[in-house]
Amino acid sequence: MSASGSQQGMTPAPKPEHQSPWAEAEGRLSRALRELGQTSWVVTVLAVVVALVVGAVLILAANRDVQASLSYFFAQPTAFLETAFQVLREAYSALFRGAVFDWQAPSAARSIRPLTETMVYSVPLILAGLGIAIGFRSGMLNIGGQGQIILGATSAGFLGYALSLPVGLHVLLALAGGILGGAIWGGIAGVLKARTGANEVIVTIMLNNIAIYLLAYLLQQQWYKQTGSNQPLSSSVDESAQLFSLLGSGFRLHAGFLIAILATLGVWWLLERSTLGFEFRAIGENPEAARTAGINVPKATALVLVIAGGLAGLGGAAHVLGTEYRLAGGVAGTLGFDAITVALLGRSKPLGTFLAGLLLGGLRAGGVLMQAQTGTPIDIVLVLQAVIVLMIAAPPLVRAIFFLPHADGRPRIRRRSARRKTEAAAGTSSSRQPELQTASTSGASSAEPPSAESSSSESPNSTTQEPGK
């Protein structure tokens, strides 16, 4: 009794006993997503640091000069250290010069170009990342960013070259088409979840595949691609439908970045200030409670994925209308999955997502120069991303590496000290004595002093724990 009671006290959200395994899994999922949002920014920064260290080890391992110098490490240890340092400095400085500021560039325009490239790469990541983040905040794992981006790109691109309209109108219509395409794709998953309870993870993954093959099919159809060649490439988006350049020729930065800023503000307003956003967060926190409070849960569920899809679709549209201009089978690359990283890294907050999008965009932009100049494989960038996700998804790992205290350790510590206080206040050793025995016999293995442990079963705290377990 006492052991189980104390364990229950550790888990933040106690669950009623009658829940089905499925509901239990769902509960665990939403709890995990909620915890993600609460991860401290220290963990995020440290995750990036760990990723850079892991990346450094791999860069060294993959480098032939370093391998060579390692073979005579004991004859000349300094040679190894020098080469290693040199290689790392070159690789990471190239990453930085490719992503932020290139002090070796021939012209001033060229030296600031990397930062604008980072922004260009970040546009679809931010937009799709915001969509994923809304899902996370509402307790939904939307893996369908990829499909939603593809649908957005597919519709926006088609409207961009198939119609001929005046300048402003054309681009707006194409963007709207992109949003609609993504929203429909997200909406399918949303309605299925709301109506039938279908798991959104599975549905969105399947929709990703359908989207990929739909695009591949369309690119075989002459009415769709309108090129006259038999390569699976569409014709180019009309100039009237292209997002205008922000800095003129020589730079690729386009108005899509402004859209990303506006979308970030919009999502912030939606989540933090609007009734709808409150409903979203409520169903993310606790759907049961939300229903009791009179929120139409199915409707909100469907709307979350419609809006998430719309944002991802907008990302795809901006990608096609701003940088790519034409559709090919791989137009979305891995954007949809990188967007999940962005949302995780941004802790599902709009501003965080924006910054995370910039970071990942920077890694992408810098990776290009790093690869070309130092021969460091671009795969390192993928490893960096993967390690970041791993670390963010497992905050205890980061805390273990850096000996940090538990993130929600505060309540735990507070509870413990609170218990001690209540004990001290109660102060009766007679009531403590038998409990101590039960605790030790039930084998509750914990670092906590047995007195604190055992008192939790009978202390006033136990009233907050769920009864009957």
Partner 1 sequence: MKRSFKTRGTIAATAAAALLLSSCGEAPEEDGEGAAAEEVDYKACLVSDEGGWDDRSFNQSAFEGLEMAIEELGVDSADAQSTAESEYGPNVDTMVQQNCDVVFGVGFLLEEGLREAAEANPETDFALIDSYFNFEEGEELENAKPLVFNTGEAAYLAGYVAAAMSETGVVGTWGGIQIPSVTVFMDGYADGVERYNTDNDGDVELVGWDKEGQSGSFSGDFSDQTQGREVTEQLLSQDADIIMPVAGNAGVGAGPALEAAEAKMIWVDSDGYESTDYGDIVLTSVLKEIGQSVYATIDEGVQDGFTSESYVGTLENEGVGLAPFHDFEDEVPSEVADAIEQLRQEIIDGDTVIDSENAPS
| Interacting residues with partner 1 between 23 and 52 (CB under 8 A) | none
Q: Does 330 bind partner 1 (CB under 8 A)?
A: yes
CA distance 183 to 249: 33
SS3 of 235-254: the string is CCCCHHHCCCECCCCCCCCE
User: How wide is the angle at C-alpha 313 spanned by C-alphas 312 and 315, nearest 5°?
Assistant: 65
Binding segment toward partner 1, per CB under 8 A, in 19-27, 226-234, 265-273, 433-441: 226-234
- Give the alpha-carbon dihedral of 357, 360, 365, 370, to 10 degrees: 160
Binding segment toward partner 1, per CB under 8 A, in 48-56, 71-79, 403-411, 422-430: 71-79
**CB burial class (10 A; 0-12, 13-18, 19+) of residue 310?**
buried
CA distance 214 to 216: 5
What is the CB neighbour count within 10 angstroms for residue 226?
A: 13
Phi, psi of 459 (to 5 degrees): -70, 165
Q: Does 75 bind partner 1 (CB under 8 A)?
A: yes
Q: Does 82 bind partner 1 (CB under 8 A)?
A: no
Q: Does 238 bind partner 1 (CB under 8 A)?
A: no
Q: Does 265 bind partner 1 (CB under 8 A)?
A: no
- Binding-site size for partner 1 (CB under 8 A) equals 46
- 72 vs 85, which CB is nearer to partner 1? 72
**Minimum Å distance from CB 348 to partner 1?**
25
Site track for partner 1 across 110-149, x = CB under 8 A: x------x---x----------------------------
- 75 vs 424, which CB is nearer to partner 1? 75
Q: Does 70 bind partner 1 (CB under 8 A)?
A: yes
| Interacting residues with partner 1 between 424 and 453 (CB under 8 A) | none
DSSP 297-342: HHHHHHHHHHHHHHHHHHHHHHHIIIII-S-BTTTTTTHHHHHHHH
Q: Does 216 bind partner 1 (CB under 8 A)?
A: yes
Q: Does 79 bind partner 1 (CB under 8 A)?
A: yes
**Minimum Å distance from CB 11 to partner 1?**
27
Measure Cα distances from 13 to 7, 10, 16, 35, 409 in Å. Answer: 12, 9, 10, 11, 15
- 139 vs 362, which CB is nearer to partner 1? 362
Give which of 42, 65, 118 is closest to 381, Cα–Cα: 118
Binding segment toward partner 1, per CB under 8 A, in 6-14, 74-82, 172-180, 263-271: 74-82
Q: Which of 37, 298, 375, 450 binds partner 1 (CB under 8 A)?
A: 375
Phi, psi of 33 (to 5 degrees): -65, -40
**Minimum Å distance from CB 186 to partner 1?**
22
**Minimum Å distance from CB 242 to partner 1?**
14
Q: Does 81 bind partner 1 (CB under 8 A)?
A: no
**Minimum Å distance from CB 372 to partner 1?**
4
3-state DSSP assignment of residue 221: coil
DSSP 129-198: HHHHHHHHHTT----THHHHHHHHHHHHHHHHHH----HHHHHHHHHHHHHHHHHHHHHHHHHHHHHH--
CA distance 33 to 360: 21
CA distance 397 to 214: 40
What is the CB neighbour count within 10 angstroms for residue 271?
A: 21
> Token pair for residue 419?
């218990």
Q: Does 260 bind partner 1 (CB under 8 A)?
A: no
Q: Which of 81, 378, 400, 413 binds partner 1 (CB under 8 A)?
A: 378
Binding segment toward partner 1, per CB under 8 A, in 180-188, 189-197, 274-282, 333-341: 333-341
Q: Does 372 bind partner 1 (CB under 8 A)?
A: yes
**Minimum Å distance from CB 257 to partner 1?**
15
- 122 vs 459, which CB is nearer to partner 1? 122
Residue type, 369: L
Query: Residue numbers of the site for partner 1 (CB under 8 A)?
Result: 68, 70-76, 79, 98, 105, 110, 117, 121, 213, 216, 220, 229-233, 252, 319, 323-324, 326, 328-331, 333-335, 364-365, 368-369, 371-373, 375, 377-379, 382
